[in-house]
Structure 1
């Protein structure tokens, strides 16, 4: 007889973006390990991104429970639809460029909605799920955040029903980059820290996506912490032809601070120095991009080389990955991002295209890229080495010999990762 596991998540198809795919794939493969997943989601969520193609991965055999949710971001749209959407995506302007409306919205978000804007879904969810868990004899519940308010559902259900509770952190809580930008009062900051500590010390098992996050949490709790990274799935994508241009493609959002001026300078200098480089270069942005990044590109005279594609479905994003000459992975240059491993990294790794990654020294991404031989990793002060590597890739492209030579990727497959999860359940 299969064991049932109740998964409490905010993001679920038709939501788009990386947040939905982790548990979408776990749910897809858990039945292969004799576990029957039951998924609990909001009935009327406010998703910033929509991708209908992801619904193809939801089995008709999976039980989906839904409960209405009050969404403050819908009200925030009356102030500014654009700012509401960008803040909900985690794209926050630099302080010196923020409008009064954005400052007000950030202050309200940070101090009146702790831990986040979905806090009012906690109480009705606990009431609804308590009855369901007792009726269906559910032994294990799993909460996944962000939004971290979902962990507060877990803490109450465990306390009331004595069920086994696994708390999954796709991102850190108080150490994530945008947390500092929420204009938190001293009291609000303390409340976040208190709630984070309460969750970490109440869950039976904690799951994180990076080793840096595990180290951070280990200083707060003695509860068992398992690292289960994100991964890749075998997607059926029609064969694609490589770009004729020397294309460098970034898939996903480029936040204000995720702005590698060292890369823009290297490209700008190669345009001036290397024959034909200016004719061949193309920079693809597939996803949201902040105005600050666009302005930086303009200052380096790169605007004419940009193809700003915007947000596309997951399947379309995979096509861009496979046909690009080089894939860009860019993270904010700060110690808080050392433990951030973007989900797209694993799809990059199986695309057979070389990766150029930039971020802080000593990050988990740096270790994975080097261990799998899927590309090169640079810090923000590695100008000479970065420029040399791009030039080397360009010469290989001209000789039709540019490719990747990955090793040891199997452990990052979604099915293999689900096997690790099933053992915890």
Structure 2
């Protein structure tokens, strides 16, 4: 007989972006391991990105519970839709570029909505789910964040009903990079820390997506912590013809601080020094790109070589991954980003296209790329190595031999990862 579990998540189709796919895929495969998932989501969410193509991936027989949510982004959007939408996507303008309205929004978001702007969904959800859990005799619940306010739902249901509670962290809480930009007061910082500690020490099981986050959380709690990364799923796109140009593609958002001037300089010099490279090269930016990134690209005279595609559906982004010659993975060079493993990395590694990654030393991403033999990882001072590697790939492109020889990918398949989850349940 299948075991019922309740999954509490904010992101669900038609939401777009990486946050939705983790639990959409777990829900897809859990029934194969004798687990019956029931999904609880907001009835009227304010999703910053929409991808209707993901709706078709929801299993037909899954029970989905919905309850209304009251979000401040809707009110703020009535005042300044552009600023609200940008901030809700996680693209926070540089301090010197912030308008008065954006500064006020960030202060209010950071200090009046702790842990986040979805906090108003906590109490109504506790009341609604308490009755449902008791009626359906559900013994295990899972909360996934961000938004980390959903863990407060799990905290209360654990206390009220004594259910087994698994808290899943797709990103860290108080050490995530954007916390520094929220204009938090000392009291607000302390409140975040206290809530984080309470959640980590009350959940029966904690799941994280990286070993760096596991090490961080082990300094706060003695509760069991398991690393279950994101992953890749079966190919829904099929064979795609490669670009005729030497294309470098970055899939996903390029935030204000995710701006690798070392890369723009390398590309600019290769263009100046190599006429055939200049003729063949194209940079595809697939996703939201901040203004200062575009300004940096222009500063290095690359504007005529870019295709700023913007946000597209997940299915279309996979096509870009498969047809591009090289795939770019760029992370901010900071201590806080060592634990970030973008969901796209796992689709990158099965695309048969070499990865060129830039990020901090000691990153989980570096370890995965090396272990799977799917590309090269550079620090922000590896100028010569980065330049020579891109030229090496360009020569392989000219010789029609540009590809990867990956190893050990199966453990990152969504079904294998779901099996690990089912053992915890």
Question: If the length of structure 1 is used for normalisation, what is the TM-score?
Answer: 0.99
Query: Corresponding residue for 1:413?
Result: 413
Query: Corresponding residue for 2:397?
Result: 397
When the two chains are superposed, the root-mean-square deviation of aligned CA atoms in Å is 0.6
1:60 Cα deviation from its structure 2 partner: 1.4
d(CA) in 1 for partners of 2:135, 2:100: 50
1:267 Cα deviation from its structure 2 partner: 0.3
Count residues with an aligned counterpart: 425
Query: Corresponding residue for 1:381?
Result: 381
What 5-or-longer segments of structure 2 have no aligned partner?
none
1:96 Cα deviation from its structure 2 partner: 1.4
1:272 Cα deviation from its structure 2 partner: 0.9
Q: Secondary structure at 1:230's aligned position in 2? A: coil
Residues 204-251 of structure 1, C-alpha deviation per residue, up to 9 Å, x if partnerless? Answer: 000000000000000000000000000000122132110011000000
Query: Corresponding residue for 2:8?
Result: 8
d(CA) in 1 for partners of 2:2, 2:238: 36
Query: Corresponding residue for 1:71?
Result: 71
Residues 357-385 of structure 1, C-alpha deviation per residue, up to 9 Å, x if partnerless? Answer: 00001100000000000000001110000
Query: Corresponding residue for 2:204?
Result: 204
1:78 Cα deviation from its structure 2 partner: 2.1
Contact 1:79 1:101 in 2 (8 A): no
d(CA) in 1 for partners of 2:288, 2:133: 39
Contact 1:355 1:376 in 2 (8 A): yes
Query: Corresponding residue for 1:149?
Result: 149
Query: Corresponding residue for 1:347?
Result: 347
d(CA) in 2 for partners of 1:119, 1:315: 32
1:262 corresponds to 2:262: yes
Residues 165-213 of structure 1, C-alpha deviation per residue, up to 9 Å, x if partnerless? Answer: 0000000001011011000011111100010001000100000000000
Q: Secondary structure at 2:220's aligned position in 1? A: coil
Q: Secondary structure at 2:79's aligned position in 1? A: coil
Query: Corresponding residue for 2:234?
Result: 234
d(CA) in 2 for partners of 1:152, 1:108: 20
Residues 330-382 of structure 1, C-alpha deviation per residue, up to 9 Å, x if partnerless? Answer: 00100000000000000000000000000001100000000000000001110
Runs of 4+ in 1 over 6 A off after TM superposition: none
Residues 375-413 of structure 1, C-alpha deviation per residue, up to 9 Å, x if partnerless? Answer: 000011100000000000000001111011110000000
d(CA) in 1 for partners of 2:226, 2:325: 35
d(CA) in 1 for partners of 2:313, 2:301: 30
Query: Corresponding residue for 1:294?
Result: 294
d(CA) in 2 for partners of 1:352, 1:239: 11
d(CA) in 2 for partners of 1:356, 1:317: 17
Contact 1:357 1:376 in 2 (8 A): yes
1:319 corresponds to 2:326: no
Query: Corresponding residue for 1:180?
Result: 180
Query: Corresponding residue for 1:161?
Result: 161
Question: Which sits farther off after the overlay, 270-279 or 407-416?
Answer: 270-279
Question: If the length of structure 2 is used for normalisation, what is the TM-score?
Answer: 0.99
Query: Corresponding residue for 1:108?
Result: 108
Q: Secondary structure at 1:188's aligned position in 2? A: helix
1:57 Cα deviation from its structure 2 partner: 1.1
